[in-house]
Amino acid sequence: MRVCSGWRRFLLCLPLIFFLPHIFSVLELHKNSTVNDLHKSHNKKFDHLVLGPAAGEGLHDRLQCQGTKALNKTHLSTSSGNFSFGESVAFVTFYAAYDSSVDRLVNGRLKDLVTVGNISYSKVERSMAILNVFVNFVQMTMPQSNIIILTDPASKLPLHRNRVSIYPIQGEYSRDKLMLQRIRSYITFLEARLEEHSQSQGHINHYIFTDSDVSVVDDLGQIFYNYPNIHLALTFRNNKEQPLNSGFIAVRGTPDGMLRAKVFLQEVLKVYGSKYMKASRMLGDQLALAWVVRSHPHFDAKRFARPQAFVEDISGASVLFLPCAIYNWTPPEGAGQFHGMPLDVKVVHFKGSRKRLMLESWNFLDSSSNISDMLCLILKSGRTKYDF
């Protein structure tokens, strides 16, 4: 059990690593043949979607599904009407490209190809596909938003999309230092924006730093609108050891917001370097984040138990804590920690072996044009481990 939960944690943490050897997961038993098959072969990773039961069945505030048909409408909000013209939201994601040498040739053909829909992807192509689908979702739900990709100057990203820009940052991009480099890159980025901001007046660009294996399914501008006094926002869940997920950090684009977020992240970086270097490959940043928050004298960790947003001052920054269930929803793992999908879910996070599901759900949406139905597809198939 210990080994299992350790592996599970490993799996939660590093969206950039698509292939993890021999992952064992604990699946709940269901009286359902599909899921029983799944249980029998729990080492197996599937190369096609496997639908199981939808978590949260019968709960009135959770999405109810019939097959992949949604019985409820999920809310779609728009914040654009609320934003004054001088404000916008940009997404920032950290991306470390694989060296193309990982795509091995065997007898002149690429090995480890994975097919989604009618397209085959090599290892390198898979991570590009995730990035492209990330962009697709943002451009669908928040078409006014720009997307900024922080990356290694040495990598040449073959990504040419409107409103997407590449921002190279010098650093250490070895696989075991990626999470460390990610925080450093966030800090470097904020420093650069602070400098620019001091020269340009007026326009305010808020930043949401996310993993690239997330789908934004609702407008997120309302975070900044509804909480006008916060400097940054983090997502939390009811988990003793890792209550905070580092895959979503929102920063108010005022000089004050950016400065305090930068100082906050610098503290996280310091704690990471001094306490969690052994964990650097995977979850050091999340452990450091939790450490900084929890070590604050007035912080009451009991607040993580209830999925309700709250604001707390941490190291001079006003931090909004948002429930993962809505802002960082992960397909149920093991015991199904979120008990279904809230009707106002805004961000879906395809951690671990669920990247295939991210691509499949985009393809599904592309043909059905129905977000609620797509959410049913995700809810029902998210328990399965996929081949990427």
CB of 69 to ligand NAG, least distance (A): 4
Using rule CB under 6 A, residue 81 touches ligand NAG: yes
Out of 215, 372, 381, 384, the residue judged to bind ligand NAG by CB under 6 A: 372
What residue spans of the chain are helical by DSSP H? 2-13, 33-40, 123-141, 178-199, 222-226, 255-275, 284-294, 324-327, 355-368, 371-381
Distance in angstroms (rounded) separating the CA atoms of residues 98 and 18: 11
CB of 53 to ligand NAG, least distance (A): 4
Distance in angstroms (rounded) separating the CA atoms of residues 236 and 208: 16
Using rule CB under 6 A, residue 254 touches ligand NAG: no
Using rule CB under 6 A, residue 301 touches ligand NAG: no
CB of 210 to ligand NAG, least distance (A): 21
Using rule CB under 6 A, residue 373 touches ligand NAG: yes
CB of 73 to ligand NAG, least distance (A): 6
Using rule CB under 6 A, residue 32 touches ligand NAG: yes
Out of 146, 155, 222, 242, the residue judged to bind ligand NAG by CB under 6 A: 222
Helix (H), strand (E), coil (C) string for 254-307? CHHHHHHHHHHHHHHHHHHHHHCHHHCCCCHHHHHHHHHHHCCCCCCHHHHHCC
Q: Which residue has the tokens 């930043």?
A: 207
CB of 115 to ligand NAG, least distance (A): 11
Using rule CB under 6 A, residue 53 touches ligand NAG: yes
280-292 core/surface letters (b: 16 or more CB in 10 A; e: else) = bbbbbbbbbbbbb
Q: Which residue has the tokens 């961000």?
A: 347
Is residue 135 within 8 A of residue 157, CB to CB? The reply is no
Smallest CA-to-CA distance from 336 within 368, 269, 382, 291 is with 382
Q: Which of residues 90-119 bind ligand NAG (CB under 6 A)?
A: 117-118
Q: Which stretch binds ligand NAG (CB under 6 A): 21-29, 193-201, 218-226, 253-261?
A: 218-226
What φ, ψ does residue 270 adopt, rounded to 5°?
Answer: -65, -45
Q: Nearer to ligand NAG by C-beta: 103 or 373?
A: 373
CB of 385 to ligand NAG, least distance (A): 18
Q: Which stretch binds ligand NAG (CB under 6 A): 64-72, 164-172, 290-298, 348-356?
A: 64-72
Smallest CA-to-CA distance from 43 within 20, 25, 61 is with 25
CB of 60 to ligand NAG, least distance (A): 5
| Residues that bind ligand NAG in the complex, under the rule CB under 6 A | 32-34, 53, 60-61, 64, 69-73, 78, 81-82, 117-118, 222, 225-226, 343, 370, 372-373
